[in-house]
Amino acid sequence: MRRRFRADPVAMGAAVVLVLLLVTAALFFTLRLFQIPFPANPDLTDLAGKLRPPGPDAWLGTDNLGRDVCTRLLHGTYISLMVGVVAVVVAVGIGVVVGAVSGYAGGWVDNVLMRIVDAMMCFPSFFLILTVVALLGPSLFNVILVMGLVGWTGSARLVRAEFLSLRESEYVRAARALGQSHLGIVFRHIFPNAAGPIFVTAVLGVPGAILSEASLSFLGLGVQPPQSTWGNIIADGRTYLLDAWWLILFPGVAILITALSFYLVGDGLRRAAQTKRERE
């Protein structure tokens, strides 16, 4: 899989972009943690210099409060990526547990769990997230929690399908005949062979979570000011769309590049995994 992935120039280019984004997120999270204003203070207002276009003093311009857009964009990187990654980790974790139990146990357990999954999938996920966040109140923790608790159904169905096919394989039957426990069979034989598709699903789920966070922040129900995210930067700029185009353009491009990079990496991993399975 590694060789196939490395031979894909598009996926490798997207992986390089993701590494740069993760390094940027880690760097500016550290700067925020130690309150180091680099390249400037993202919360510093300057009403005399508001809505300045991009130039030498402000590379990406300033917003309606005179805050540097470049600094806020860089500091918003770790918020947006953290929301996307942590929400997907929570969702995939729940989905793996539900799907593994459903697929391995079968019978009435499978029927009950899958009916719960079907009921959850009847509701549009974004509107369900929007409703729950509106009831709980907008905050970083609530956004991550709600997105994780709502987005696990797809992972559960995928893991169930993998476990249903793998539990009847020859090596699982041999392990069962040798008297291995159910947990031993699951963790030593089934789960390692199902880990590839699960990982691909997790990578492909991150851009959706980032877009959901940006949408919530745009509507005022996501991460609250003064914390900067790409979504609330766009929300601040919608009033000045004709006068300050940079408030919409640059965070929109950041969201586009991040989401596209995750999709391309996930698609490259999926193709590599499919080729491996076809050879097997």
Q: Give the tens place of pLDDT for each residue, 49-76.
A: 888 899 888 888 888 888 899 989 998 8
What does the pLDDT look like over 257-273, one tens digit per residue?
999 999 999 888 888 87
* pLDDT of residue 132 exceeding 90: no
pLDDT band with cut points at 50, 70 and 90 for residue 102: very high
The tokens describing 202, both together, are 């997790």
Percent share of the chain, pLDDT over 90: 25
1 has a pLDDT exceeding 80: no
Give me Rg for the CA atoms of the chain: 22
Over pLDDT 70: what percentage of the chain?
A: 98
Say what the pLDDT of residue 64 is.
Answer: 86
With 60 as the cut, is the pLDDT of residue 254 above it? Answer: yes
Q: Which CATH architecture has domain 2-35+60-279?
A: Orthogonal Bundle (1.10)
pLDDT at residue 276 is higher than 70:
no
Structure confidence at residue 280 as a pLDDT band (50, 70, 90): low
Assess whether pLDDT exceeds 80 at residue 275.
no
Q: What is the mean pLDDT of the chain?
A: 87
Taking only the tens place, the pLDDT of each residue in 177-203 is 888 888 888 888 888 888 888 888 888
H-type alpha helices, the chain = 2-6, 9-33, 69-105, 107-121, 125-136, 140-150, 153-166, 170-177, 182-185, 191-218, 230-237, 246-279
Instruction: Quote the pLDDT of residue 23.
Output: 93
In whole angstroms, give the CA distance from residue 86 to residue 144.
Answer: 7
With a cut of 70, say whether residue 147 has pLDDT above it: yes
* Predicted pLDDT of residue 256: 92
The whole-number pLDDT of residue 277 equals 53
Q: Which of the pair, 32 or 261, is modelled with greater confidence?
A: 261
DSSP structure string for 5-62: HHT-HHHHHHHHHHHHHHHHHHHHHHHHHTT--SSS-TT---GGGTTPPSSSSSTT-B
Q: Mean per-residue pLDDT for 151-177?
A: 88
State the CB neighbour count (10 A cutoff) for residue 199: 15
Give yes or no for a contact between 267 and 7, defined as CB atoms under 8 angstroms apart.
no
Residue 146 makes CB contacts below 8 A (sequence gap 6+) with 129, 132, 133, 136
| pLDDT score of 140 more than 60 | yes
Domain ranges in the chain are 2-35+60-279
